[in-house]
Amino acid sequence: MKIAVCIKQVPAKDAPLAITNSNWIRETDIGFEMNEPDSYALEEALRLKEKHGGEVVVVSMGPERVKQTIKEALAKGADRGMHIADDKAFTLDPLGAAKSLAAAIGREKPDLLLTGLQSDDQGFGQTGVLLAELLALPHATIIMQIEVQGDHLRVKRELEAGWFQHVELPLPAVLTIQSGINKVRYATLKGIMGAKKKEIMTIPRDSLGVVHEPTERVERIYVPLKTKKTEFLTGTPKETAAKLLEKLRHEARVL
């Protein structure tokens, strides 16, 4: 079984973020790490490989620094890496990113494609389902358990209010993995040393032949302003209560 896993490099959780004039963060002097939901997808791929055999191919898009995250995945047990090189990957909307990933992953023809549920930086949560549509593959989202049964899968999806849904779908397929599905492993010293010998194929995004007009754009990135406001309501108790109810319903929107 060939399993492809999309992993994204995002700013570290404790990184001091400063916003630039280009509607993005200043990337100098901050650390980067693997997107946490993607780390669960990688772990699930590694467990499926250990149980059923095959190989795990990790795919990531971004500037040169992204290779460090790919090497981390290789150190944990992935077999090969694909780096879609693009210094301006952060400017892509979800559909543009998915088209580029689909063009590269389509060449591999994996039996199973896993992604994290969403990214820690932009959090659109659309890449996995868009990949499924672009690759014309069946898919399921928010996966908490995977069972491979011959040429199809049985998966457990997390729904609202503590409910779950069991779904069967044929292979090949695309799954978006929920955080907490497993316990993520650490890279061993042996794995880190072995990762140096594993292949990382670099593909310039421009060479994929993807033509895409953005379907959405970011108008502004900003730090929310903290403001305080005190307003006194006057009138009879009945009038005051009516005014308070109106503000709670239409301004605070808590009712």
Q: Which residues pair with 166 in a beta bridge?
A: 156
pTM, full prediction? 0.83
Cα–Cα distance for residue pair 138/40, rounded to 1 Å: 21
Question: Is pLDDT at 21 greater than 80 in this prediction?
Answer: no
Contact predicate 60/5, CB 8 Å:
no
**Per-residue pLDDT band at 57 (split at 50, 70, 90):** very high
Sheet holding 2-6, edge to edge: 164-170, 152-158, 139-149, 173-177, 112-116, 2-6, 55-62, 80-85, 200-204
Show the beta-strand stretches assigned E in 51-103. Answer: 55-62, 80-85
Residue range 109-127: average pLDDT? 92
Closest alpha carbon to 67 in 46, 88, 83, 51: 83
Q: What are phi and psi of 97, to 5 degrees?
A: -65, -45
Q: DSSP secondary-structure letter at 27?
A: -
Q: What is the pLDDT of residue 231?
A: 84
Cα(64)–Cα(102) distance, rounded to whole angstroms? 20
The Cα 79–Cα 241 span in angstroms is 66
- Class assignment of domain 2-208? alpha beta
Per DSSP, the three-state class of 249 is helix
Neighbours of 39 (CB within 10 A): 23
Task: Report whether pLDDT(23) > 90.
Answer: no
Query: Which stretches within 166-236 are classed as H helix?
Result: 189-195
Sign for the pseudo-dihedral over CA of 66, 67, 69, 70: positive
Check the CA dihedral 235-240-244-246 and report its sign: negative
What would the two tokens of residue 62 be? 């971004």
Query: What is the pLDDT averaged over residues 21-34?
Result: 82
**Which of 148, 133, 140, 91 has its CA nearest to residue 115?**
140
Instruction: With CA atoms as reference, report the closest residue to 251 among 235, 234, 229.
Output: 229
Q: Residue 91 above 90 pLDDT?
A: no
